[in-house]
Amino acid sequence: MAVTLQQLEIFRAVAQNLSFSVAARQVYTSQPHVSNQIRKLEEHYRVPLFVRSRPGISLTEAGAALYERITAILDDIDEAEQVIQQFRGLRRGSVTVAATASAGNHLLPGLLADFHAEHPEIVVRLNVSNTGDVAELVERDEAELAITPRRPSSSELESEPFYVEDLVVLAPSTFEVPDPLEVDAFAALPVIAREEGSLTLSMLNELLSEHSVEYVAQLSGTTAVNEAVAAGLGVSLVPERSSHVWRRSGAVTVSRLIDHRPRHEFHLVHSTQRYLTPATRALIKHLHVWALAGRRSDDG
């Protein structure tokens, strides 16, 4: 097994904090993942790096020697990363984010504007794609981060809960759809669906599984669906955040379903095999702050 930069960075975080849980928060991953990577390092070097005891953990002599040597190495790597990025015309780096249509079109633009105000030197590239493709972009090393409602199954991808968004029934204002709405009444209306591979389509199919429904159209992307609803083609199940612009125009209405609360639970995903650059870490921290503020608002 080859030692990875991420494993050494995790080791440094644990050694600095003498805590697996604090280290996990520092490097934006889970505590089990931290424990697993330390175990792999110890298996590779065939010596214990930490002493585990009831009061806590401490470095072994071997661990202290490793920590002393890798700290300078990792600092040099961070500096080299920034120097190389300068030759690409970037003062402090870039981050590529892959996201599904709901997050990419209706959540991230505002968050990235705030991030740019704090970090004008970091360039963020956003790739909006189908739910089935988003995590694969990270796995193929075409993006550093992904935001997706489908938790990846690959062992090479690390995911954590990010935010939750309800799905609502969007209808043309001319339809006079009641709120709240029975599923039977929803199924009786002309329904517009998303494209194959969309998690929203899977949830819509499940919701209407006991009804004989033929979709009047299947459109690619939430924006196309919302435009079709506003034009009067039919109703659809859409992420609530995506409906705001059309609601303000007065072209559509929003209804919630009785006895059902379909929702997307979005995850923040990155590779366990890739070194997280300072720019990527800065964006992750920004997203964490936003998500934490949202959870506090919900609790309040």
CA distance 156 to 273: 6
- Which residues are within 8 A (CB) of 138 and not within 5 positions of it... i.e. 6 or more apart? 98, 144, 145, 146, 152, 157, 269, 270, 271
Partners of residue 270 on adjacent β-strands? 145, 158
Q: What is the reported pLDDT for 89? A: 46
- Which residues are within 8 A (CB) of 256 and not within 5 positions of it... i.e. 6 or more apart? 166, 168, 169, 179, 180, 181
- Which residues are within 8 A (CB) of 44 and not within 5 positions of it... i.e. 6 or more apart? 1, 3
Residues 143 and 182 in one domain: no
DSSP codes of every residue in 234-281: -BEEEEGGGGHHHHHHTSEEEEPBTT---EEEEEEEEESSS---HHHH
Query: What SS3 state is found at 41?
Result: helix
Question: CATH no. for residue 274?
Answer: 3.40.190.10
- Buried residues in 215-245 as b, exposed as e (16+ CB within 10 A): beeebebbbbbbebbbeebbbbbbbbbbbee
Q: What is the reported pLDDT for 85? A: 61
Residues 249 and 191 in one domain: yes
Strands (DSSP E) contained in the chain are 50-52, 57-59, 94-99, 123-128, 145-148, 157-172, 192-194, 217-219, 236-239, 252-255, 263-271
Question: CATH no. for residue 22?
Answer: 1.10.10.10
Q: Yes or no: say if 148 and 197 are a contact pair by the CB < 8 Å rule.
A: no
For residue 239, say if its preceding peptide bond is cis, omega within 30 degrees of 0: no
pLDDT in tens, the chain (300 residues): 578 888 888 999 999 999 998 998 888 788 888 999 999 999 999 999 999 887 889 999 999 999 988 888 888 887 777 666 655 544 567 899 999 888 888 899 999 999 999 888 888 999 998 877 888 899 888 899 999 988 888 888 888 889 998 999 999 999 989 999 999 999 999 999 998 888 889 999 999 999 989 999 999 888 899 999 999 999 999 999 889 888 999 999 999 999 999 998 999 999 887 777 778 888 999 999 998 876 555 544
> Rounded to an integer, what is the distance from CA 147 to the centroid of its chain?
3
Q: Counting every residue, how long is the chain?
A: 300
Residues 100 and 63 in one domain: no
Residues 154 and 181 in one domain: no
Q: What is the reported pLDDT for 82? A: 64
Tell me the whole-structure pTM to 2 decimals.
0.63
Residues 260 and 178 in one domain: yes
- How many domains does the chain divide into? 3
Query: What SS3 state is found at 218?
Result: strand
Q: Yes or no: say if 181 and 256 are a contact pair by the CB < 8 Å rule.
A: yes
Boundaries of domain holding 260: 164-264
Residue with tokens 């040099």: 76
Q: At what angle do helices 278-299 and 61-87 cross, to 10 degrees?
A: 100
Q: What is the reported pLDDT for 206? A: 93
Q: What is the reported pLDDT for 90? A: 45
Q: What is the reported pLDDT for 233? A: 97
Residues 257 and 269 in one domain: no
How many Cα atoms within 13 Å fall on the side-chain side of residue 262? 22
Residues 109 and 127 in one domain: yes
Q: At 272, list the tokens.
A: 């366990």
Residues 275 and 260 in one domain: no
